[in-house]
Amino acid sequence: QFPTDLSAELKDLPREVFAVDPTSVTQTPSTEVLYRCRKCRRALFRSSSILSHVEGSGPTAFAHKRVTDSARLAGDGREKCTSYFTEPVQWMEPSLLGVMEGQLLCPKCAWKLGSFSWRGEQCSCGRWVTPAFQIHKSRVDEVRTLPVGTFQAAKT
């Protein structure tokens, strides 16, 4: 028997559910990519928080939405997945508690980054992802840390 109102269960989530907010950690491992809000540059999540999914069947998965023939051209060079699906990050917690779905806004400037749904959402590639914490790639910038080598002063 499943409860009819899941929102009551979503009011108090265990701390372990949330990935660490990148702003609360001073150093990002050099192998990880940091993602920042494109508008205010606030650090949002790391590459280790991105959840991979098997690519869906593309526009044919949206047949119920009557996709036009021009949109069926999957080989047009465009990236199929236009969003990142992440694990929930600590800064998302106030938005997630007590509700099944909603918008994900930057915690600093309140710019819309994407959306979430505990029921799941469909990626642009056609794959259904559950639960879904979806951040649009166009709303964030990748910040790669360059490895710093050991520099030696030239002997003169």
pLDDT digits (tens, 9 = 90+) for 137-147: 999 999 987 66
**45 and 35 Cβ atoms separated by less than 8 Å:** yes
Strands (E) located in the chain: 33-37, 43-46, 83-85, 101-105, 112-117, 121-122, 128-129, 132-136, 140-144
Q: Is residue 115 part of a domain?
A: yes
Cα distance between residue 51 and residue 38, in whole Å: 21
Q: What is the pLDDT of residues 60-93, one digit of tens each?
A: 655 555 555 444 444 555 568 999 999 999 999 9
Q: Is residue 68 part of a domain?
A: no
How far does Cα 73 stand from its chain's mean position?
26
Report the pLDDT averaged over residues 15-29.
72
The pLDDT score that the predictor gives to residue 70 is 44
Q: Which domain holds residue 120?
A: 6-50+79-144
Kindly state the percentage of the chain with pLDDT values over 70: 65
The pLDDT score that the predictor gives to residue 3 is 47
Residue of 152 and 123 predicted with greater confidence: 123
The pLDDT score that the predictor gives to residue 24 is 74
Q: Is residue 41 part of a domain?
A: yes
The pLDDT mean for the chain works out to: 80
The pLDDT score that the predictor gives to residue 5 is 55
Q: Is residue 152 part of a domain?
A: no
**132 and 120 Cβ atoms separated by less than 8 Å:** yes
The pLDDT score that the predictor gives to residue 74 is 47
Q: Is residue 40 part of a domain?
A: yes
- CATH number for the domain spanning 84: value is 2.170.150
The pLDDT score that the predictor gives to residue 17 is 72
**72 and 57 Cβ atoms separated by less than 8 Å:** no
Residue 99 CB partners (closer than 8 Å, separation 6+): 7, 10
Q: Is residue 121 part of a domain?
A: yes
Cα distance between residue 102 and residue 17, in whole Å: 18
Q: What is the pLDDT of residues 88-106, one digit of tens each?
A: 999 999 999 889 999 999 9
